[in-house]
Amino acid sequence: MNFTVIHKDRKTGARSCLIQTDHGEIPTPVFMPVGTRASVKLVEPEELQAQQVHIILANTYHLYLKPGNDIMAMAGGAHTFMNWRRPLLTDSGGYQVYSLSELRTIMEEGVRFKSHLDGSTLHFTPENVIDTQRIIGSDIMMPLDECPPWPAEKDYVKNSGKTTIRWAERAKKHLAATRPLYGHNQALFGITQGGTYADLRMETSKALVDMDFDGYSIGGLAVGEPAEEMHRMLELSNGILPEHKPRYLMGVGTPENILNAIERGIDMFDCVIPTREARNGRAYTRTGYINLRSARFAEDFSPIDEGFDNHVCRNYSRAYIRHLLNVGEILGLKLCTLHNISFFMWLTRTAREQIIRGSFREWKDDFLKTFNSGQKP
Amino acid sequence: MNFTVIHKDRKTGARSCLIQTDHGEIPTPVFMPVGTRASVKLVEPEELQAQQVHIILANTYHLYLKPGNDIMAMAGGAHTFMNWRRPLLTDSGGYQVYSLSELRTIMEEGVRFKSHLDGSTLHFTPENVIDTQRIIGSDIMMPLDECPPWPAEKDYVKNSGKTTIRWAERAKKHLAATRPLYGHNQALFGITQGGTYADLRMETSKALVDMDFDGYSIGGLAVGEPAEEMHRMLELSNGILPEHKPRYLMGVGTPENILNAIERGIDMFDCVIPTREARNGRAYTRTGYINLRSARFAEDFSPIDEGFDNHVCRNYSRAYIRHLLNVGEILGLKLCTLHNISFFMWLTRTAREQIIRGSFREWKDDFLKTFNSGQKP
């Protein structure tokens, strides 16, 4: 994986970069739609490409459970399995072990947990999580980490940060001892933790930087803490993480959180917001989001966002999508999903253009002013 | 609407024809996917076009309830509303009045019934059903009819046939008194009834032929009667309905029923089978249908139908679609739907080619032998 900083904003920490993988290039800042179980819900891979999606995310925990490593290996990895030919990033599954499994025991060796599907007992270790990602064949892999909740006692966060560092070391060692299975290279990021404790965040970040990962994920944020706390941690990370490596803020987020993080030097984002909210009928526009289930759109034959040039706005009206949602036609959810993905791709693509043009901060302020003033929940 | 018989099969009653409408041409025999509520479930209009779909069907009863005539009129009709630019046929809603509404009273004036959605009392008359279809703007409209169940007493079928004829007369008269709203022409078919009573079937057919409709729908079949009864009625209809008008067998059906009806001179078909069964994981192949939910496809990386050249077979494996269905990803249902539509379009398109080539009967026998021998329910 190559990483090049193309342009640094003079007024903010924002930057535009280029990540090069064996499955193609990723201009940053970039939003990565979530395809947890090897499917971005409702949408085909070629439709994602048409919306200028460069990279998607899948989840190691979910794919390990189903279809399982045997089938994934037989398929020749997730790219072939799902027919996605562009870059793929996989989450380590650590977060899902904590959020989904009924019983889990964190040991030095790894995590023992019960599958949320059938209750069977499973073990994730830093090593076998790498093995699974070798089988998935993701272009960018994540090591097993321990993600503390927010708020959490400092001692707990400190210990979990140390565990995360030891596991990261083992992951890196195991990476070196294994090879890609399908001929394309696989990068490994380090995941920083430390909650919102500045010293702990700094400690885990520095330790990971010393291990020289291909990139750095910022974990344990966007878990309920106030925005200012998140910003403080991002600014701190920005000062520690090396400039010549990509920075990925995991699980973020809203347009506002994304732009605030770009301003603080973040390159990559993933979140279920555009896809999950679409399935509740929420559609994003440059003047705020709207809920297309609302009766007030029943006779509104304008596109979701007038003048926004994407497939959904070119072809369908608010009234038609509202009708589909109203009568329970799944096509309505698909059109909302596709539109929202397109909107989030536009957001990070435009941020990139504005960074290169030197007008990122002004554009961001204007955009958020319009976006927030127009919100009609 | 123009109708031209292109080729008549020498060995059977099969024929290939061309229907010309203001929204484009329809080569027959043709299968029409069902888009009841202005959406062929899960699929976008441009995806239908890519599968060589020439005409789709929507339902007057459902569209009358939602979005309702006001919104449909404001939209400028269903073509614009749903962004479908090819021909559209609408069922009159008569069948749904009988099958869906909780209480219905058939009077000379029309039908009084309770909406299956909110229980409100509504009236369908031969006249207002035409008005609604003028608002929908379908290229081919159906008159209100009364469809008796099977089996039914002869007296009941006789009376309902007479009602259907009187309603057809009123529909035709009202058609002449009204005009298309959107600049394109709208044809009106007559619907023959008479159940499986040869004399009644003959009687309604002749009466409708005398009224000179743009085409003829054969109603009241495929409602549970034995195949031989259906064939007998089709052969009888074939002898009465004029050669220079299209013949549409409503609600049919399975590949076998479709081919048997083509052999007996039918030009047009519609059925929920390919789309509804897809949502249960059933996928059609030339060697029978398969259920992709089955664990036996978990490690089967071949396409749904090896060598079948369509979008789904080119891009996805049985194992991947099985995974999607297995974990509840809706994309799996969409891929099955798109494949089945493609299969039914291939079926009627190939029937047409074989008719033109003079080898329809041999091809049909071969196809059904392979198709039926390979069924793995």
Same domain, B251 and B348: no
Q: Kindly state whether residues B54 and B98 are assigned to the same domain.
A: yes
Residue with tokens 């009687």: B203
- Structure confidence at residue A45 (pLDDT): 98
Q: CA–CA separation, A5 vs A16, rounded Å?
A: 6
Probe site for chain B from A47, A279, A313, A329 (most B CB atoms < 10 A): A329
Predicted local distance difference test score (pLDDT) of residue A313: 98
**pLDDT at residue number A98:** 78
DSSP designation for A21: E
Helix then strand then coil, in percent of chain A rounded to 5, is 45, 20, 40
With CA atoms as reference, report the closest residue to B138 among B56, B247, B40. B56
Closest of B210, B201, B189 to residue B232, by C-alpha: B201
pLDDT at A374 over 80: no
* Amino acid sitting at position B33: P
Among B9, B91, B145, B305, the active-site one is B91
Q: Return all residues near A99 (Cβ < 8 A) that are at least 6 apart.
A: none
Q: Which of B147, B131, B137, B214 is nearest to B183 (CA)?
A: B137
Chain B residues near residue A42 by CB distance under 8 angstroms = 330-331, 334
Nearest CB among B45, B326, B329 relative to A41 is that of B329
Q: Which residues pair with A26 in a beta bridge?
A: A19
Residue A151: asked if its preceding bond is cis (omega within 30°), the reply is yes
Q: Are residues A262 and A287 in the same domain?
A: no
- Whether the bond between A126 and the residue before it is cis, its omega within 30 degrees of 0, is no
Q: A87 pLDDT band (50/70/90 cuts)?
A: very high
| Three-point CA angle B179, B180, B182, nearest 5° | 140
Are A180 and A137 a contacting pair, CB within 8 Å? yes
Last residue of a domain, one of B271, B287, B311: B271
pLDDT at A73 over 70: yes
Q: How many CB pairs under 8 A join A and B?
A: 105
Last residue of a domain, one of A235, A270, A305: A270
For residues A8-23, average pLDDT: 98
Phi, psi torsion values for A293, nearest 5 degrees:
-75, -15
Mean pLDDT of chain A: 96
pLDDT at A375: 59
Residues A110 and A224 in one domain: yes
How many Å from the N-terminal Cα to the C-terminal Cα in chain A?
A: 41
For residue A140, the SS3 value is strand
- Report d(CA B18, CA B1) in Å as an integer: 10
**Which residues, in sequence order, are bridge partners of residue A188?**
A141
Q: Are A56 and A35 in contact (CB under 8 A)?
A: yes
Residues of chain B predicted below pLDDT 70: 375-377
Best CA proximity match to A109, nearest among A90, A129, A133, A134: A129
Query: Does the distance separating the beta carbons of A83 and B315 come in below 8 Å?
Result: yes
**Are B28 and B268 within 8 A, CB to CB?**
yes
Q: Is B212 a catalytic residue?
A: no
My answer on whether B236 and B316 are in the same domain is no
B155 among known catalytic residues: no
Convert the pLDDT of each residue in A247-287 to its tens digit. 999 999 999 999 999 999 999 999 999 999 999 999 999 99
Identify whether residues A121 and A179 lie together within a single domain.
Answer: yes
Instruction: Spell out which residues of chain B touch residue A318, defining contact as CB-CB under 8 Å.
Output: none
Read off the tokens for B208: 């409708």
Name the residue type at position B148: P
pLDDT band at A43 (very low <50, low <70, confident <90, very high): very high
CB B137 within 8 A of CB B184: yes
Nearest Cα to Cα of residue B248 among B357, B348, B149 = B348
What's the alpha-carbon Rg for chain B, to the nearest Å? 20
Contacts of B323 in chain A (CB under 8 A): 37-38, 66-67, 71, 81
* pLDDT number for residue A65: 95
Alpha-carbon span A63 to B137, nearest angstrom: 47
Measured distance CA(A48)–CA(A50) in Å, rounded: 5
How far, in Å, CA of B343 to CA of A103, rounded? 47
Determine which one of A9, A145, A267, A270 is catalytic: A270
Domain housing B289: 278-373
Which tokens go with A343? Answer: 């909107």
- What's the pLDDT at B100? 79
Residues A261 and A301 placed together within one structural domain of the fold: no
Are A349 and A248 found together in one domain?
A: no
Same domain, B236 and B332: no
For chain A, list residues whose CB is within 8 angstroms of any CB belonging to chain B.
Answer: 37-39, 41-46, 62, 66-67, 70-71, 74-75, 81-83, 298-299, 301, 315-317, 319-320, 323-324, 326-327, 329-331, 333-335
Quick one: tokens of B215? 């085409």
**CATH number of the domain that B40 lies in?**
3.20.20.105
Greatest Cα pair distance, chain A, in angstroms, is 62
Q: Which residues of B touch A41 (CB under 8 A)?
A: 329-331
Yes or no: say if A370 and A286 are a contact pair by the CB < 8 Å rule: yes
Number of Cβ atoms within 10 Å of the Cβ of A225? 16
Domain boundary among A239, A270, A301: A270
Same domain, B199 and B66: yes
What is the Cα–Cα distance from B356 to A214, expressed in whole angstroms? 63
pLDDT tens readout for residues A286-330:
999 999 999 999 999 999 999 999 999 999 999 999 999 999 999
pLDDT of residue B116: 85
Please name the amino acid found at residue A345.
Answer: M
Q: Select which of A9, A91, A214, A267 is catalytic.
A: A91
- Could you tell me if A263 and A147 lie in one domain? yes
Number of domains composing chain B: 2
3-state SS, residue A367: helix
**Residue A128 burial by Cβ neighbours in a 10 Å radius (0-12, 13-18, 19+):** middle
Q: Can you give the three-state secondary structure of chain B, one letter per residue?
A: CEEEEEEECCCCCCEEEEEEECCEEEEECEEECECCCCCCCCCCHHHHHHCCCCCEEEEHHHHHHCCCHHHHHHHCCHHHHHCCCCCEEEECCHHHHHHHCCCEEECCCCEEEECCCCCCEEEECHHHHHHHHHHHCCCEECCCCCCCCCCCCHHHHHHHHHHHHHHHHHHHHHHHHCCCCCCCCCEEEEEECCCCCHHHHHHHHHHHHHHCCCEEEECCCCCCCCHHHHHHHHHHHHHHCCCCCCEEECCCCCHHHHHHHHHCCCCEEECCHHHHHHCCCEEEECCEEEECCCHHHCCCCCCCCCCCCCHHHHHCCHHHHHHHHHHCCCHHHHHHHHHHHHHHHHHHHHHHHHHHHCCHHHHHHHHHHHHHHCCCC
Same domain, yes or no: B293 and B349: yes
Residues of A in contact with B59 (CB under 8 A): none
Which chain B residue's Cα is nearest to A38? B324
Has residue A333 got a pLDDT over 80? yes
Chain A: closest CA distance from residue B375 (Å): 26
Burial class (CB in 10 A: 0-12, 13-18, 19+), B234: buried
Instruction: Judge whether residue A336 has pLDDT over 80.
Output: yes
